[in-house]
Amino acid sequence: MTTKKRILKSMAALAACVPLLGWAAWPEKPIRMVVPYAAGGGADNTARVVAQQMSIALGQQIVIDNRPGAGGVIGEDNVAKAPADGYTVLYDASAFSVNPSLRKLPFDAAKDFIPVSLVATAPQILVVPATAPDQTVAQFLDFARKNPGKLSFASAGGGTGSHLAGEALNEQARLSLMHVPYKGGAPALTDVMGEQVSAYFGNVASTLGYVQSGKLRALAVSSAKRVPGLPDTPTLAESGLPGYNVVEWNGVFLPKGTPPDIVQRLGKAVQAAVNEPQVKQKLLQLGLEPAGTAPEAFAKFVQSETARVGALVKARNIRVD
């Protein structure tokens, strides 16, 4: 081999290594974490708790960028069109698996993102007014079946977790509870306590205090296992609806095309953050069940949730304005 050929071969090998060396150095600058919801909300609060610990693990600051609007679609689209270099991250919630069935999207949710890690799940509590005669789920279901159309359920808005949990109850239990949408969870809770509506699926953080103070009665929880703050309150699956498991969730995504080693390293940073004792305790205080999964497991979870919601939307003919 001539000297010229050896030099050209060495230059080609070096060029091939440059991208690898670049990715190996990631992150070399602050990371932008897009939260597609308003500051101060549940997802934003959780993102800030997790991002702070992730910054320590990665050695770089993570800057929260709130981009609310269109049920999360505006922020999601921003990340879908961002460079796939690991410096733009999406911190999303359950709406990610809901939007494909309810909204026309400017991106393909299944193809334009890489699931990185499930941060946490959020069970909901099925509550009724404290003065309601129903003491158990069985009594509630029995009355609803004998009096079709008489009972109602509130939600924090069309397409929200509380709406879908109620429709899932309608579908599985063959009920005809009337959906009453509100602009947020606070007015929904107020009207349940005021007996304006019959029931509500509320998240633990906003609802547990009213249950513990006796202003609301908890009949069951929506998750597969019981909630630590309500150890005597059964799951809906335990209450005659086997397999019922409807939770809200938070998770981290990257744009498609992000190098696999960055995906794995970011995933490990999320897992380390979620499993840090102080972070785990804060998540529990926010009414969340800490998770922290590998990218492959989260991808399967998102696929399963998207399919479940899609089937429910079709079966119940759910629409959003």
pLDDT at 12 over 80: no
Q: How far is it, in rounded angstroms, from Cα 291 to Cα 275?
A: 8
**24: confidence class by pLDDT, cuts 50, 70, 90:** low
CB distance 71 to 99 below 8 Å: yes
**117: confidence class by pLDDT, cuts 50, 70, 90:** very high
| Nearest by Cα to 27 from 63, 64, 59, 50 | 59
pLDDT at 92 over 70: yes
Mean pLDDT of 247-252: 97
Q: How far is it, in rounded angstroms, from Cα 175 to Cα 135?
A: 18
Q: What is the pLDDT of residue 320?
A: 83
For 130-153, what is each residue's pLDDT tens digit? 999 999 999 999 999 999 999 999
CB distance 93 to 37 below 8 Å: yes
pLDDT at 278 over 50: yes
pLDDT at 91 over 90: yes
Tokens of 194: 């005021």
pLDDT at 35 over 90: yes
Mean pLDDT of 104-116: 97
SS3 at position 291? coil
Q: What is the pLDDT of residue 17?
A: 41
pLDDT at 169 over 60: yes
